[in-house]
Chain A
Amino acid sequence: MSARPEDPIEKSPQKNALAAKQDFFDKPQNVTLILRGFYVICILLVVADFVVHRHIYLRFEEIPAFYAIYGFVACVVLVVIAKEMRKIFMKDETYYDDREDEDDMPVAYDEVTQDLVVNNAAADDEDISKNTDCSGQVSREVAPK
């Protein structure tokens, strides 16, 4: 995977996941490390915008770091609007079909307590066990890198 040097979020976990399968992402310090590297790259990219002479095709592009700002704002707007859309468009999973012939819920996510309810019986097979490093109670704050 030498072909993708500028993708720290996604590359490093992979490389390391192969080496230390069980716990790379479960350690908060690793996640912090990756995030720090990511922030540094973001800063460098903005700095590069002032150092390198970009070709300007459109008047929007004259704004310094236009692409960086646009990318950030676009995604925030996207998510905010999408969240609002949920209020109108989101329905229960069984809104159209009862889907009773699909048994695909090995794990349930308890929306009240924000906890994961692990149902081992339904999960895949022999190699599932009560994990030593993560008890199935990982909060969502740790999980996002």
Chain B
Amino acid sequence: MMYAMPAFIPFFVGALLLFVLPTRFRYFAVLIPLVNGVLLFLSGSNTSAYNVDIHVFTLQLMDVDKLSLLFGYLFHLACFICIIYALHIKDKTQMIAGLAYAGSAIGAVFAGDFITLFIFWELLALTSAYLIFARKTKASRQAGIRYLIIQVFSGVLLLFGALMFYKDTGSLEIQYVGLETSASWLLLIAFGIKAAFPGLHGWLADAYPEATPVGTVFLSAFTTKVAIYMLARTFPGEDLLVYIGAAMTCFPIFYAVIENDLRKVLAYSLINQLGFMVCGIGIGTALALNGTVAHAFNDVIFKGLLFMTMGAVLTRVGHVKGSNLGGLYKTMPKTTLFCIVGAASISAFPLFSGFVSKSMVMSAMIEAGHEYLWLMLLFASAGVFHHAGIKIPFFAFFAHDSGLRPKEAPINMLIAMGIAATLCIVIGAYPTLLYSLLPWENTYVPYDLTHTLTQLQLLFFSALAFVWLNKKGLYPPEIKSVNLDVEWLYRKLMPTTGLFILGCLSQFKTACKQQSNALINALPVMKRANDASAATMTLRMAIGFVILVILAFVTQFF
């Protein structure tokens, strides 16, 4: 069987149909990623390319290889889970946006040239922004606009970079770029914005926690992973990325420890996980790239699962503030269970999915000889267990009893979380299922005695540190607060400086006006324009003559 059409089409058609049809037809949306995904999977590498000729330019809509196929499967799977998770919502617009968003992501990974990519890159931004606006709070509206501006800016950089790349090489095909020309820097920054490089990550921690419960699950799956995919295509083996990635793994965990909004904790932890992937791309060996791809696959599922559990809490309780939660295990036991599975997966516990993919990047790091960076990654691994593995389930579901007795999550949410949790365990227990899909040749064996033992030691003693700090009362309590991050630059510094400069300028303008008025008043002759007698005319001419002489004199010296 051969799949021979652009894979994103069913998603856009579905979104359009849903827009026209009554809301009750939303249940059929589940079929779109399911059927399309299964067809694509059965077709596999036989899937044919699909090009559209526009005048002299060819848009390569389906450029299929093992790498793009794996991301294609992943996005179908993620969209399938997300849509099940969203079924209880009567507001169909979120599902329309979600479908179009997933379609754009699929379009982007199958894009064969930069112009096609640019189209889907911007569509990703537009469709996903609605998932933030749909929360319908003032904060979410503003965060959505900031998100949109930054995302569209990334697209503009991509277009500029692509055009410059075309000028340099005469080709628009997506291929290895490497950091040499200014075009490649523009492309790197464009991808870097969506991949949340340090300093460019503000939008992620800002917007994701403001989206709807469903919206955040969608958001966490697609945008950043498309960026990782593009980096893996265009900049594999770029040494700079190893350092960027290592920084990305480490700095967010500090924020995650002190953050109160649990979805924001997850957003920071998402940046941390992206760091591992960026490191893998930077190393660029087959093992590292396989690790990156495998980790992206697992991350979509376990991070999605964690966002889903927090979304369930948000739906039932109305907020996800660690300071006001606790004891929810009593009435939300299933959600608690799923959260723990997600937490164990992200922490890379043996038999859970994170274990089989994160370790590939770590081993590749050792092979590449980056000893100290490896220590940073190990620090981040311990840290991720600390904030995502323990903090999220502990403060939401255990900790002190908040007195909240919310109902268990809606059944469709539980099904979606159940699917994700099952995948986490299945991939963790039978990694060959995932390994067989990896684009490069793979001989990695995750379960050996050394690796299992060392990972368990690392995790258990991280947990011991948590217990010890808690017993000693040293653990920072959850406090209602915001923590300043790079977004401070454009949310506080820039507006304040802008207003300050504006104030200064308007003061200056007033002062100038007053001065010139005073000056004009000081020249009484100028005021008597009507009675230009001989005397005043002579005076004016004399003044003019003097000024000219002075000017002539001054010019002699220059």
Residues in A lying within 8 Å of B, measured CB to CB? 1, 3-4, 6-7, 9-11, 13-14, 17-18, 21-22, 25-26, 35, 38-39, 41-42, 45-46, 48-49, 52, 54-55, 57-61, 65-76, 78-83, 85-86, 88-93, 95-109, 111, 116, 118, 120, 123-125, 127-129, 131, 134, 136, 138-145
Instruction: State whether A85 touches B483 (Cβ < 8 A).
Output: yes
Contact of A4 among B351, B390, B399 (CB under 8 A): B351
Instruction: State whether B382 touches A134 (Cβ < 8 A).
Output: no
Contact of A9 among B330, B463, B474 (CB under 8 A): B463
Give A124 to B450 CA distance when docked, in angstroms.
48
Give A115 to B98 CA distance when docked, in angstroms.
42
Instruction: State whether B461 touches A42 (Cβ < 8 A).
Output: yes
The 6 closest A-B pairs by CB, nearest first: A104-B319, A144-B470, A75-B465, A71-B461, A143-B400, A82-B257
| Given A10-B393, A127-B405, A42 contacting B371 (CB threshold 8 A) | no
Instruction: State whether B138 touches A72 (Cβ < 8 A).
Output: no
Q: What 0/1 pattern do residues 435 to 454 of B give for CB contact below 8 A with A?
A: 00000000000001110011
| Given A6-B350, A17-B336, A68 contacting B457 (CB threshold 8 A) | yes
Residue of A nearest to B480 (CB): A93
Question: Counting CB contacts under 8 A, is B379 at the interface?
Answer: yes
Instruction: State whether B349 touches A38 (Cβ < 8 A).
Output: no
Question: Counting CB contacts under 8 A, is B317 at the interface?
Answer: yes
With a cutoff of 8 Å between Cβ atoms, the chain B residues found around residue A104 in the complex are 317-319, 321, 324
| Given A93-B480, A108-B324, A10 contacting B425 (CB threshold 8 A) | no
| Given A65-B457, A79-B476, A92-B481, A85 contacting B258 (CB threshold 8 A) | yes
| Given A72-B464, A86-B483, A140 contacting B351 (CB threshold 8 A) | no
Q: Which of B405-423 contact A (CB under 8 A)?
A: 405-407
Instruction: State whether B469 touches A124 (Cβ < 8 A).
Output: no
Residue of B nearest to A114 (CB): B477
Residue of A nearest to B320 (CB): A104
Instruction: State whether B479 touches A111 (Cβ < 8 A).
Output: yes
Instruction: State whether B137 touches A96 (Cβ < 8 A).
Output: no
Give A106 to B434 CA distance when docked, in angstroms.
43
With a cutoff of 8 Å between Cβ atoms, the chain A residues found around residue B474 in the complex are 79-80, 83
| Given A21-B330, A140-B477, A75 contacting B383 (CB threshold 8 A) | yes
User: Least Cβ distance of B474 to chain A in Å?
Assistant: 7
Q: Which of B327-352 contact A (CB under 8 A)?
A: 327, 329-331, 333, 336-337, 340-341, 343-344, 349-352
Instruction: State whether B333 touches A17 (Cβ < 8 A).
Output: yes
Instruction: State whether B317 touches A106 (Cβ < 8 A).
Output: yes
With a cutoff of 8 Å between Cβ atoms, the chain B residues found around residue A70 in the complex are 375, 378-379, 382, 458, 461
| Given A86-B483, A102-B139, A143-B400, A75 contacting B386 (CB threshold 8 A) | yes
Residues in B lying within 8 Å of A, measured CB to CB? 137-139, 142, 253-255, 257-258, 316-319, 321, 323-324, 326-327, 329-331, 333, 336-337, 340-341, 343-344, 349-352, 366, 371, 374-375, 378-379, 382-383, 386, 390, 393-394, 398-407, 425, 428-429, 448-450, 453-471, 473-485, 491-492
Give A54 to B454 CA distance when docked, in angstroms.
8
Give A45 to B449 CA distance when docked, in angstroms.
12
Give A39 to B467 CA distance when docked, in angstroms.
10
User: Least Cβ distance of A134 to chain B in Å?
Assistant: 5
Contact of B463 among A38, A61, A108, A134 (CB under 8 A): A38
With a cutoff of 8 Å between Cβ atoms, the chain A residues found around residue B479 in the complex are 90, 111
Instruction: State whether A25 touches B329 (Cβ < 8 A).
Output: yes
With a cutoff of 8 Å between Cβ atoms, the chain B residues found around residue A25 in the complex are 327, 329, 398
With a cutoff of 8 Å between Cβ atoms, the chain A residues found around residue B326 in the complex are 143
| Given A69-B461, A90-B479, A143-B326, A101 contacting B137 (CB threshold 8 A) | yes
Give A97 to B491 CA distance when docked, in angstroms.
10
With a cutoff of 8 Å between Cβ atoms, the chain A residues found around residue B379 in the complex are 70, 74, 78
With a cutoff of 8 Å between Cβ atoms, the chain A residues found around residue B316 in the complex are 124
Residue of B nearest to A72 (CB): B461
Give A55 to B374 CA distance when docked, in angstroms.
16
Q: Give me 11 other A-B pairs in contact (C-beta within 8 A), A4-B341, A38-B460, A143-B398 excluded.
A: A1-B337, A45-B461, A52-B450, A76-B468, A78-B254, A79-B475, A82-B254, A99-B137, A105-B319, A108-B324, A143-B400
Instruction: State whether B402 touches A7 (Cβ < 8 A).
Output: no
Instruction: State whether B461 touches A118 (Cβ < 8 A).
Output: no
Instruction: State whether A49 touches B469 (Cβ < 8 A).
Output: no
Instruction: State whether A116 touches B457 (Cβ < 8 A).
Output: no
| Given A10-B344, A52-B449, A75 contacting B481 (CB threshold 8 A) | no
Instruction: State whether A68 touches B461 (Cβ < 8 A).
Output: yes
With a cutoff of 8 Å between Cβ atoms, the chain A residues found around residue B482 in the complex are 90-93, 95-96
| Given A71-B465, A105-B324, A140 contacting B374 (CB threshold 8 A) | no
8 pairs from A and B in contact (CB 8 Å cutoff): A7-B349, A9-B390, A9-B463, A49-B457, A66-B454, A83-B474, A91-B483, A134-B401
Residue of B nearest to A127 (CB): B405
Instruction: State whether B324 touches A107 (Cβ < 8 A).
Output: yes
Instruction: State whether B333 touches A118 (Cβ < 8 A).
Output: no
With a cutoff of 8 Å between Cβ atoms, the chain B residues found around residue A82 in the complex are 254-255, 257-258, 476
With a cutoff of 8 Å between Cβ atoms, the chain B residues found around residue A118 in the complex are 402-403
Instruction: State whether A3 touches B351 (Cβ < 8 A).
Output: yes
With a cutoff of 8 Å between Cβ atoms, the chain A residues found around residue B331 in the complex are 21, 127
With a cutoff of 8 Å between Cβ atoms, the chain B residues found around residue A17 in the complex are 329-330, 333, 336
With a cutoff of 8 Å between Cβ atoms, the chain B residues found around residue A76 in the complex are 465, 468-469
Give A10 to B481 CA distance when docked, in angstroms.
28
Instruction: State whether A145 touches B467 (Cβ < 8 A).
Output: yes
With a cutoff of 8 Å between Cβ atoms, the chain B residues found around residue A141 in the complex are 473
Instruction: State whether A103 touches B318 (Cβ < 8 A).
Output: yes
Contact of A136 among B138, B386, B403, B483 (CB under 8 A): B403
Give A97 to B206 CA distance when docked, in angstroms.
12
User: Least Cβ distance of B317 to chain A in Å?
Assistant: 7
| Given A4-B344, A6-B456, A75 contacting B466 (CB threshold 8 A) | yes
Residue of A nearest to B378 (CB): A70
With a cutoff of 8 Å between Cβ atoms, the chain A residues found around residue B366 in the complex are 57-58
Give A95 to B449 CA distance when docked, in angstroms.
50
Give A120 to B448 CA distance when docked, in angstroms.
52
